[in-house]
């Protein structure tokens, strides 16, 4: 499926060039957007370099990220923040902000605002992921749907759905974890012993959950 993409006219020229070079993009428009940096179908996307992200979260310079998230939610059916870089880039930034706190803010924004923050390594991969998101939110579902219960229902709390999407944690275990730890921040603070104390979670499963959560937070 091919898509049309709109790029905000305040973005660097290289962004529109990368969009035009994508094989699945049939039309590229550059104009002033009411929110976001890229629009693909019903999807609005905010593009951030690691430094832009830190400045936006901490409101140190430039637009406040939380204001941008609110405008995205108002203007588009689906909203995402895509990082033009890797999470490891936060470790090398010359800033007084602890990289752990920055990664925590990514989890917080995803859980509390319902806007996923996704690292995309570089600009080419960011544009490719944006195009794929637009396609997936537009095209008809696959003719081979996943079994009922394999994916958490949209009616469930965002954090609970997040737990269910982490590799090794299905809907049933996600519900158990959510009852004990209603926020990702609380779950990240839990030790293996804390998890093992939850009814129905043994030592092996507790350790698997502990490692899976930290792998997802990296």
List the domain boundaries for the chain.
Answer: 3-136, 158-217
Q: Under CATH, to which class is 3-136 assigned?
A: alpha beta
How many Cβ atoms are within 10 Å of 151's Cβ, its own excluded? 14
* Architecture field, domain 158-217: Orthogonal Bundle (1.10)
Q: Across all residues in the chain, what is the average pLDDT?
A: 84
Mean pLDDT of 198-208: 85
Report the range of poorest mean pLDDT among 92-101, 107-116, 205-214: 92-101
Nearest C-alpha neighbor of 119 from the set 51, 69, 50: 50
Residue 46 and residue 26: Cα distance in Å, rounded?
21
Q: In angstroms, rounded to a whole number, what is the distance separating the alpha carbons of residues 100 and 157?
A: 24
Residue 142, exposed/middle/buried by CB under 10 A (0-12, 13-18, 19+)? exposed
- pLDDT at site 200: 78
> DSSP H helical segments within 21-157, as ranges?
50-58, 65-75, 89-92, 99-108, 123-136
Read off the pTM: 0.64
Say how far apart CA 148 and CA 172 lie, in whole Å: 12
CB-side exposure of 107: number of CA atoms within 13 Å?
Answer: 24
Q: With 70 as the cut, is the pLDDT of residue 36 above it?
A: yes
């Amino acid at each position: 499926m091919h898509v049309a993409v709109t790029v905000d006219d305040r973005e660097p020229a290289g962004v529109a060039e990368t969009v035009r070079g994508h094989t699945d993009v049939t039309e590229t428009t550059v104009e002033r957007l009411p929110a976001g940096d890229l629009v693909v179908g019903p999807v609005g996307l905010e593009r951030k370099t690691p430094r832009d992200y830190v400045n936006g979260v901490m409101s140190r310079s430039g637009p406040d990220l939380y204001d941008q998230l609110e405008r995205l939610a108002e203007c588009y059916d689906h909203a995402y923040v895509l990082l033009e870089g890797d999470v490891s880039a936060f470790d090398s930034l010359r800033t007084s902000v602890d990289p752990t706190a920055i990664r925590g803010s990514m989890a917080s924004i995803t859980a509390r605002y319902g806007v996923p923050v996704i690292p995309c390594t570089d600009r080419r991969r960011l544009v490719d992921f944006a195009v794929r998101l637009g396609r997936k939110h537009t095209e008809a579902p696959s003719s081979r749907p996943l079994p009922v219960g394999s994916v958490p229902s949209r009616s469930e709390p965002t954090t609970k759905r997040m737990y269910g999407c982490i590799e090794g944690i299905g809907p049933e275990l996600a519900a158990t974890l959510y009852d004990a730890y209603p926020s990702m921040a609380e779950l990240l603070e839990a030790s293996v012993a804390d998890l093992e104390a939850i009814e129905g979670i043994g030592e092996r499963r507790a350790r698997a959950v502990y490692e899976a959560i930290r792998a997802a937070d990296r």
